[in-house]
Structure 1
Amino acid sequence: MTSPGRLRTLAAALLGLAILVAQAQAQTTLRVVPQFDLKILDPIWTTAFTTRNHGYMIYDTLFGVDEAGKPQPQMVGAFEASPDKTVWTFTLRDGLAFHDGAPVTSEDVVASLARWAKRDSLGQKMYAVLDKAEVVDAKTFRLTFSRPFTMTLEALSKPSGVPPFIMPKRVADTPADKQIEDTTGSGPFMLKADEFRPGEKVVYLKNPAYVPRAEPPSGTAGGKVAKVDRVEWVMIKDAQTQVNALVNGEVDMIEWIPTEHYAKLKESPGVELVNAIPSGSYAMHMNHLVPPFDNPKIAKAAILAVNQEALMRAQIGFKELYRTCTSIYPCGSQFADGQTSYFTGKPQFAEAKKLLQEAGYDGKPIVLLYAPEFVVLNKFPPVMAQLLQQAGFKVELQTMDWPSVLIRRTKKDPADKGGWNMFITGWGGPDTMNPLFLAPLTGNGEKGWFGWPTDARLEELKTQFLFAADDAERKKLAEQIQLQVFDGAIFAPVGESTPLTAVRKNHVSGVVKAPITVFWNIEKK
């Protein structure tokens, strides 16, 4: 016979087990098909959107931008600027801690900003006039500039390209040209490293120690409340398989829908299409460091081959989802301008052939990088190859997956020795709103973004823009910067589109309108 005491012990054990089982069952998992695979985990080292989104999962920023694009404090609790805007003092808010339990300190912030500034266009300009970044105490730091720096908050809240994520000092001390190996952050989610399978799945767990701000979520600002326990990024390359997985309930969300299935998703009763992020753009980028695009005439000939309507029609398909736009800034935005020198967005093959002849193009094929399984961009390269051939170029499409494109574009070798000549990529609206946010305009020569053009005039204009007295002067300088981009044959805009997110209707809610895709505030039923 079992004693009453043993029965009570057994009952307590069974109750405890039942509670654990109930808790496990109650856990919510949001399964998402991201834009593309995550292989690079360092958001300071690359401008890849998936790596940037990964950054927002596990890191936090000093400031965010609200839905209107205005900087708002995030990790910062209070700040003040001297009347002449040369001295800025910031105090961190209470409750900030890294995933390992260590408090976030001013030393972590100063080290993180220093590393970020080596990789980002605005960061480089900012630190060029920074006299010192000093730790005042554990929660207070100060930035002192040699001249008034009115774009401090814009820099610290930069939402895309290379956002200034805050990392532990030991991680931020990693040289800027080397990828980090430690993914300890302080954000609302934590990377589950033992389940990270590049090409298959990325898993994030809710950070139970994260203290969100009290304000409602807005853009990358406000309260970052994780309302699911687990987020899984599921890598599905085939567009039809993505759609089937969503319709069948195998995944809950497709970050960017494959546009060839727009009509089907629009009519599906179990799917809701959400316009959560602003319209983005696409651009053709060239390697100016090696032949043939080290010759500006040949680079200009390639730009003259661009046919925006043909490229956008091929990639997006549905006219209501795209538009041509010749400005390097979003059409309709503050700095958008119709002055684009020779660039019309329409092909000018005769002029292109003339430039090639004048430049002595030797007929060597240019290497155009092509990721056929990356549904967001996969129609552009074949069409661009045809356009270039009509302009007099010989073209070699080199096939690989998109993460390999991201790695390949870092190589500065000649194209026939593992390098490259051209690729096409996309940019979010926040990446192109401001000439100092534009990653392709980062730095000069080999210190710049992939493609590495050298243009002293462009650098001078960027500096003038940085210290412009008012919006009217900035507008004039933004126009001059755009003209210099075309006259210097830096890159060419391809067009704009409206990215749509698809979620399971009546199962997923709370998607935040933001300049980039964020996963806090999302609820799953």
Structure 2
Amino acid sequence: MIYDTLFALNEQGEVAPQMIDRYKLSNANKTYTFTLRDGLLWHDGQPVTAEDCVASIRRWAAKDALGKKLMAITESMRALDDRTFEIRLTQPTGQLLFALAKPSSYAPFMMPKRVAETDPLKQITDYTGSGPFVFKADEWKPGVKAVYVKFDKYKPRDEPASGLAGGKTVNVDRVEWLSMPDPQSQVNALLSGEIDYLEMPLVDLLPLLRADKNVVLTEYNPLGIMLTFRFNHTTKPFDDPKIRQAAWYALNQKDFMAAAVGDPQQYKICKSMYACGTPFETSVGMEGKLASDFETSRRLLKGAGYDGAPVVLIQYSGLGSNIGPVAKSLLERGGFKVDMQVSDIASWVGRQKNRAPAEAGGWSAYMTGPTGIDTINPLVADMMDASCDTAQPGWPCDLELERLRQSFMDAQDPEAQKAVADAAQKRAVEISTHIPIGQFHVPIATRNTVAGVLHAPAPVFWNLTKR
């Protein structure tokens, strides 16, 4: 809504310039020179500069899995003038432009230099962007409402909008995001015309929406969401790799998908850490796993000397209310003791970063749902980052997996990349970074007065019209 990116993915998943006007490669494809579009402004009216972009890339790369790998092969990054900056690599890679276009987890959003220089591990408090909407902080009611208004000085690209790329033309003056925790209340509000747009209706209620001629359902994101079970490698019981392996045999994807989604048309059973339907999808390393083989799970726990330390499973309300009980039941049938704790999402996010022992306010496992686009290869997939203390919460630590992820960065042709991706998944299964427990997609629902919905990895509100 409020930020823009240097590049973006179009509807076909191709990288396209966004804030960038032009770029060139030199020095045996190791030096990139980027020139910004003319007329880019921050919401405070100041021009976007190359120095802002360099600072923003550094902030993003400090946390993003792919960004960290790119920084490891970056010799220098500097502004050449107000609109031009250079990234000089130590070796060529085909990942840089995609990295600058990735849409989430974490997206390389551009910020003013003063904001981007905030400690990457601290929350920013200045929400100045250069995107098509301005955040109305004075109207923000956390957990209730967020308001965005059209940025009248935003200069869209000339091309038609496509996915997250092209011209971000805003046709409405104001967008209000309303939080409605109850799914039935959400649907009732849409049916009555109280709201215009519902991001993720409960699948059980889709028949009500399909039956109303004033409602349109749009499958906007074909890769959907990859539901994931995440281990904490630093605390009991999952600090033991043999115990982590037992969980692979206790769980299965079908039970999770039946609980989370229900309708088989809306989900896929696919034993792959990479999004199903993408080039690197593979079942390598999954043999015998995710089949609720409780006997094998119990045998592995016995062999590991499992002492009954409870799996502290933290979940947030909404997602947790559906799939948490499934995980608890399957793990317990596989011989684990499980303590499931459900909270609101804000509390869950805070606790997720807590590295205390599970019994002292920390956690053993959680489930979440990254978008499919965030799991398409071993570099993009944050869950496969095994860089120890700098990895995502769960903190897996494995030099071999990191070597393979670096090899993917170095691979220059699709066949070599495929071989590395297979090897990376096999190793990620061996050390159990996480378990994929199904892929699903849910349409958005809009009133028929709304048009211009774009097919993209995330809901966007430019290009929309309302009559």
TM-score by length of 2: 0.98
Match of 2:140 in 1: 196
1:520 alignment counterpart:
462
Are positions 1:288 and 2:233 aligned together? Answer: yes
SS in 2 for 1:398: strand
> Which AA in structure 2 matches 1:219?
G
Aligned match for 1:366, one of 305, 311, 315: 311
- Structure 1 partner of 2:333: 390
Q: Does 1:84 align with 2:28?
A: yes
Q: CA RMSD in A?
A: 1.2
Deviation at 1:377, TM superposition (A): 5.1
Q: What amino acid is the match of 2:64?
A: D
Contact (CA 8 Å) 1:367, 1:396: kept in 2 or not? yes
Q: Is the 8 A contact 1:303 1:491 kept in 2?
A: no
Amino acid at match of 2:401: L
Please state whether the residue corresponding to 1:143 is helix, strand or coil: strand
SS at match of 1:137: coil
- For 1:477-516, list aligned pairs within 5 A: 477-505=420-448, 507-516=449-458
Deviation, 1:442, is 2.9
Partner of 1:409: 352
Residues 271 and 286, structure 2, Cα contact 8 Å, conserved in 1: no
* Residue aligned with 1:133, SS: strand
Q: Residues of 2 paired with 1:424 and 1:392: CA distance?
A: 19
Count of residue pairs the alignment pairs up: 466
Secondary structure class of the residue paired with 2:79? strand
Q: What does the per-residue CA deviation read over 1:125-154, in whole Å, with 9 as the maximum and x for residues that have no partner?
A: 101010100110000000001111222111
CA distance in 2, matches of 1:377, 1:261: 18
- Find 1:349's aligned residue among 294, 299, 306: 294
**CA positional deviation for 1:170:** 0.4
Shift of 1:345: 2.5
Distance 1:377 1:340 in 2: 28
Q: Percent identity?
A: 42
- What is the alpha-carbon distance in structure 2 between the residues aligned to residue 101 and residue 523 of structure 1? 26
Larger displacement relative to structure 2 (423-432 or 334-343)? 334-343
CA contact (8 A) 2:237 2:310 kept: no
Match of 2:263 among 311, 318, 336: 318
Shift of 1:264: 1.5
CA distance in 2, matches of 1:122, 1:220: 19
Counterpart Cα distance in 2 of 1:342 and 1:404: 36
Equivalents in 2 of 1:413, 1:163: separation in Å? 28
Distance 1:86 1:94 in 2: 26
Shift of 1:452: 0.5
Mapping of residues 299-338 of structure 1, within 5 Å: 299-338=244-283
Structure 1 runs of 4+ aligned residues shifted over 4 Å read none
- Displacement of 1:364 after TM fit? 2.0
Q: For residue 315 of structure 1, report the CA deviation from its aligned partner.
A: 1.2
Q: Give me the whole-angstrom Cα distance separating, in 2, the residues matched to 1:302 and 1:443.
A: 19
CA contact (8 A) 1:325 1:495 kept: yes
| CA-CA distance at 1:272 after TM superposition | 0.9
Q: Partners in 1 of 2:93 and 2:337 — Cα distance?
A: 47
Change (3 A) 1:450 1:87: same
Which amino acid is the alignment partner of residue 219 of structure 2? N
Q: Which residue of 2 aligns with 1:15?
A: none
Task: Return the offset for 1:443.
Answer: 4.9
Post-superposition shift, 1:280?
A: 2.2
Q: In structure 2, what is the Cα distance between the partners aligned to 1:320 and 1:228?
A: 34
Q: Deviations over 1:460-490 (max 9, x none)?
A: 0000000102110000001011111111111
Uncovered stretches (5+) of structure 2, i.e. residues with no partner: none
Task: Write out per-residue CA displacement over residues 488-515 of structure 1, whole angstroms, 9 at most, x where no aligned residue.
Answer: 111111111122100012x111011112
Matched letter for residue 242 of structure 1: Q
Partner of 1:37: none
Is 2:359 aligned against 1:422? no
Structure 1: distance between partners of 2:386 and 2:162: 31
Kept in 1, the 8 Å contact 2:226–2:438? The answer is yes
Secondary structure of the 1:446 match is: helix
**How does 1:453-468 map onto structure 2 within 5 Å?**
453-468=396-411
CA distance in 1, matches of 2:84, 2:68: 23
Measured after TM superposition, the shift of residue 282 of structure 1 is 0.6
In structure 2, which of residues 76, 96, 108 is the aligned counterpart of residue 132 of structure 1? 76
1:110: Cα distance to partner?
Answer: 0.5
Distance 2:218 2:311 in 1: 39
User: Which residue does the alignment assign to 1:220?
Assistant: 164
State the one-letter code of the partner of 2:82: A
- Give, in whole Å, the separation in 2 of the partners of 1:312 and 1:289: 28
Q: Return 260-269 or 72-81, whichever deviates more.
A: 260-269
Alignment check: 8 A CA contact 1:77 1:91 kept? yes
Partner amino acid for 1:294? D
CA distance in 1, matches of 2:337, 2:289: 23
> Whose Rg is larger?
1
CA distance in 1, matches of 2:386, 2:112: 26
Residue aligned with 2:291, SS:
coil
1:272 paired residue number: 216
Structure 1 position 83, deviation (Å): 5.6
Give the one of 430, 434, 452 matched to 2:377. 434
Relative to 1, partners in 2 of residues 1:77 and 1:121: Cα closer, same or farther, differing over 3 Å?
same
- The equivalences for 1:155-234 within 5 A come to 155-234=99-178
Structure 1 alignment gaps of length 5 or more: 1-56
Give the secondary structure class of the aligned counterpart of 2:308.
coil
